[in-house]
Amino acid sequence: MVITPAQNEAAYLGQTIDSLTAQTLLPQEWVIVDDGSVDETFQIAQQAARTQPWIKVVQRGPAKSRRLGAGVVEAFDFGLRQVSRRDYTFIFKIDADIVLGPRYFQTILSKFTENPRLGVATGVVYQLMEGREVKTRWLPLGVAGAVKCWRRQCFEEIGGLVPGLAWDGIDSFEALRLGWQAQTFEDPELKVWHLRPEGSSVKSRSRGWVRRGQAMHFVGAHPLWVWASAFYHMAERPFILGGICMLLGYLGAFLQRAPRYENLAFRRFLRRWQLKYLAGSLRLA
C-alpha cells in the first residue's frame, strides 16, 4: 500500500505516476491525497485513477498553508485512514515529486523478506543541482522522508508518525529503540530521484539548513551532535554556509524555547546513539 501526499505537484506528479505504473511489482493500492492544491494536481491524479483501478484519489480540503513538518504527516495520515491497513504488510510513503527505478518495489520488499527485523527502509535519494546528480547526505537509517517503507507491525509499534519537525528521523530511531532495524540501501535498483529538492538557490537551501537545525532542537539532539553535524555540512556547496545556518536554526529554537518532542525515553536513546556514533567515527578517522 502506497500513500502519496500531494500539494501543488502538477509539474512533477505525472513523472511519479509513470515510475510507479512501470514497476515490475505493482502496489495493491495507491492513495494519492490532494492536499488543497490550486494547480492541476487533482486532475492529473484523477486521470491516472481512471486507467489504473488500484489508484485512489482523495481530497483533504480547500487550499491551505501546510504546517512545517506537521502538514505532510497530517496529509499522510488522512490518506492512511482511507484504507484498511490491516490488509497490508507494508506501508509506503512516496512523495509526488519522486521517480523510482522500475524494480524499486520488488527489490526493497526482498530486503524485508531477507531480514524479518527490518522495520524501516529506503533507497538512496539523488537530486539534480546545477546540472549535476548529487547524492543526498543522510544517516544510513532510512531517514529520507520523501520515500520510505515501513513493515506494518513496526509502524504500529512506534505509534505511527509524529506530526512535527524531524518526523522522518523520529520514526527510524523509535524503531531502533524498540528493537527493529532501519536502513538506507545502497543498491542500484533502489536509486531514487527527487525532482524537486529543498532548493538549488542559496536562499532556499539556507532555509532548509535552518530547518535542520530547528529539527535537531525538536528531537533533543545532543549538543556535540549538533556541532558535529554543522561542521559536516560545512563541506556542502556553498561551503561553510550550511553549517552556520544549521547552528543558527538550532540556537534560535533553543533561545525561543520552541516546542520539543516530549518523549524522554526516546531522547535518552537518541543521545546515547549519537555519542556512540561520534565515538565510532573518531576511531575510524
Domain extent listing, the chain: 2-194, 202-284
Reported as a single tens digit per residue, the pLDDT across 210-252 is: 999 999 999 999 999 999 999 988 877 777 998 999 999 999 9
Counting as low any pLDDT under 50, the low residues of the chain are 200
Q: Which residues of 181-196 are buried (b: 16+ CB within 10 A; e: fewer)?
A: bbbbbebebbbbbbbb
User: Residue 203's pLDDT is what?
Assistant: 67
- pTM given for the model: 0.92
Secondary structure letter of residue 24 according to DSSP? S
Secondary structure letter of residue 65 according to DSSP? P
User: Residue 185's pLDDT is what?
Assistant: 96
In sequence order, which residues have a C-beta less than 8 Å from that of residue 253 and are 6 or more positions away?
213, 214, 217, 218
User: Residue 198's pLDDT is what?
Assistant: 58
- Could you please state the CATH topology (level 3) that the domain comprising 2-194 is classified under: Spore Coat Polysaccharide Biosynthesis Protein SpsA; Chain A (3.90.550)
Distance CA 46, CA 14 (A): 11
